[in-house]
Amino acid sequence: MEQKNDFLGRDPIGRLLWRMSLPAIVAQLINLLYNLVDRVYIGHMPEDGALALTGVGVCLPIIMIVSAFAALVSNGGAPRASMAMGKGDYDEAEKILGNSVALQIVISAVLTVLLLLFYRPLLLTFGASENTIGFASDYMKIYAAGTVFVQLTLGMNAFITAQGFARTGMLSVMIGAGCNIVLDPVLIYGFGMGVRGAATATVISQAVSTVWVLSFLTGKKTVLKIRKKYLRMEAGVVLPGLALGLAPFIMQASESVITVCFNASLLKYGGDVAVGAMTILSSAMQFSMLPMQGLGQGAQPITSYNYGARNAERVKRTFRLLLTTSLCYSMAVWLLIMLFPQMFAMIFSSNAELIAYTKWALRIYCAAMGIFGAQIACQMTFISIGNAGASIIVAIMRKFVLLLPLIYLLPHLVKNQTMGVYLAEPAADVIAVSFTLVLFFFQFKKAIAVIEKPQ
């Protein structure tokens, strides 16, 4: 069994990172299509397109929460499984996988019940207005019914990538996205279902992906297999994984809280058009962030495996390459957004007023994106080496200590209050990246010293 994935500790780092990251980046971009394709088709619906797009945008906080619970389990379990494989303990790795499957099923059941009972008051809290609550409700009540498929697809696919099967992980996402792209126009326009059609297409597509993922993890090609004897939750297995997965959970779940705060402030200062612009801004940010997260996911099995194998030099080289690549990408995307902001706006809407508004807002909102590659590289490396404490501190610092207060503070410090809301994002990013780099310098040095000690 060891021979199947010892390439993680043997092959050249550059070639290995490319081999692992490219499918992960493609998978991240394709995964984004689940929501982006919905928004593109909905935004171009005749007559009600702009309001429908805003309504679906209000659903994003809830969708982020569902995805965050998948990250809580998978981003805590998958790196620990990789480290166990690096130590040669495959029984422990399979135990982590089995416990994670069981935990995600339980979480899915709880989330489904809560969302079906409370989706309407949640949407009103998250920024839906009288004009958009109908569209938001139509989308969310269908999406909520498919929560288990979202959880298992996103969560278990991380264990495929963690074993080194990056292409298989990419295929898992491609299959679902392909279904979604085909079904969206058929259900939205062909059957006249509107936003309900978009939600139905997403649920069906995620279900197809789930079947593929579970088939692989119970099949002959996988290194780690889902085994019946491990499909029970043990505190000694589940709790360390939850601690490590807490940072990705905070990062994603807090996006929900932050979106609510953005929407509430923007509705107050700029009305529905400002909230609609925020839907496009968050979509552009997702587009920009996901390839960097794909790079981090590609580096995770390499870092975790070699950290478990106590190969300090390969861990350091992997981080340096990840940092360089992430910064180059973030700078390139920042330049593209600064030069051609209208290009992003026109993808999501044909409404001239919304495009004009989004053009200037996007430049403000993404002003500090160029340096964000450093944030992602450090955060993903914290998780990959099992440093739960540092990863949680970094996540809390950026979202709750910095961004959340700035959303409410900056509108009172600048003349254009709506611009003040958008300015909160770059202001928080500059401070957060600086803090993360300082913390990483000391924590990474300490972690490397641990594995360099003779056993």
pLDDT digits (tens, 9 = 90+) for 251-267: 777 776 787 788 888 88
Provide CB contacts within 8 A for 51, sequence distance 6+.
131, 132, 135, 272
Confidence tier at 4 by pLDDT (50, 70, 90) = low
User: In the chain, what are the domain boundaries?
Assistant: 2-452
Mean pLDDT of the chain: 84
For residues 434-453, average pLDDT: 92
Q: 12: buried, middle or exposed (CB in 10 Å: 19+, 13-18, 0-12)? A: exposed
Torsion-angle region of residue 11: left (phi > 0), alpha (psi -120 to 50) or beta?
Answer: beta
**Which residue has better confidence, 400 or 36?**
400
Tokens (6 digits) for 360: 């200037």
**Which residue has better confidence, 280 or 295?**
295
CA proximity to 419, closest of 430, 406, 429: 406
pLDDT of residue 1: 42
How far apart are alpha carbons 306 and 17 in whole angstroms? 13
Helix (H) or strand (E) holding 56: helix 49-86
**Backbone dihedral angles phi then psi of residue 372, each to the nearest 5 degrees:** -75, -15
pLDDT of residue 264: 81
For residues 83-104, average pLDDT: 89
How far apart are alpha carbons 74 and 241 in whole angstroms? 8
pLDDT of residue 216: 92
- Kindly report, residue by residue over 188-237, the tens digit of the pLDDT: 888 878 788 888 988 899 899 999 999 999 988 888 888 989 888 888 88
pLDDT of residue 114: 92
**Does position 438 have pLDDT exceeding 90, yes or no?**
yes
**Does position 151 have pLDDT exceeding 90, yes or no?**
no
Of the candidate ranges 35-39, 373-377, 431-435, the one whose mean pLDDT is the lowest? 35-39
Where do the H-state alpha helices sit in 87-194? Answer: 90-125, 133-145, 147-162, 166-185
Question: What letter represents residue 226's amino acid?
Answer: I
Per the document, the length of the chain is: 455
pLDDT of residue 99: 93
Of the candidate ranges 11-25, 51-65, 311-325, the one whose mean pLDDT is the lowest? 51-65
pLDDT of residue 211: 93
**Does position 33 have pLDDT exceeding 70, yes or no?**
no
Distances 189 to 41, 192, 195 between C-alpha atoms, Å: 9, 5, 10
Q: How far apart are the first and last CA of the chain?
A: 25
Give SS3 for 367.
Answer: coil
For residues 10-18, average pLDDT: 84
Give SS3 for 385.
Answer: coil
Confidence tier at 279 by pLDDT (50, 70, 90) = confident
Write down the residue that tokens 């000690």 correspond to: 453
pLDDT of residue 410: 93
Hey, which of 65-74, 114-123, 218-227, 311-320 has the most confident mean pLDDT? 311-320
Torsion-angle region of residue 194: left (phi > 0), alpha (psi -120 to 50) or beta?
Answer: left
Report the C-alpha dihedral over residues 263, 268, 273, 275, rounded to 10 degrees.
Answer: 0
Residues 315 and 385 sit within 8 Å (Cβ to Cβ):
yes
For residues 427-443, average pLDDT: 95
Distances 21 to 54, 120, 247 between C-alpha atoms, Å: 33, 39, 21
pLDDT of residue 36: 67
pLDDT of residue 5: 56
For residues 409-425, average pLDDT: 90
For residues 91-111, average pLDDT: 92
Give SS3 for 265.
Answer: helix
pLDDT of residue 3: 45
**Does position 63 have pLDDT exceeding 90, yes or no?**
no
How far apart are alpha carbons 242 and 249 in whole angstroms? 9
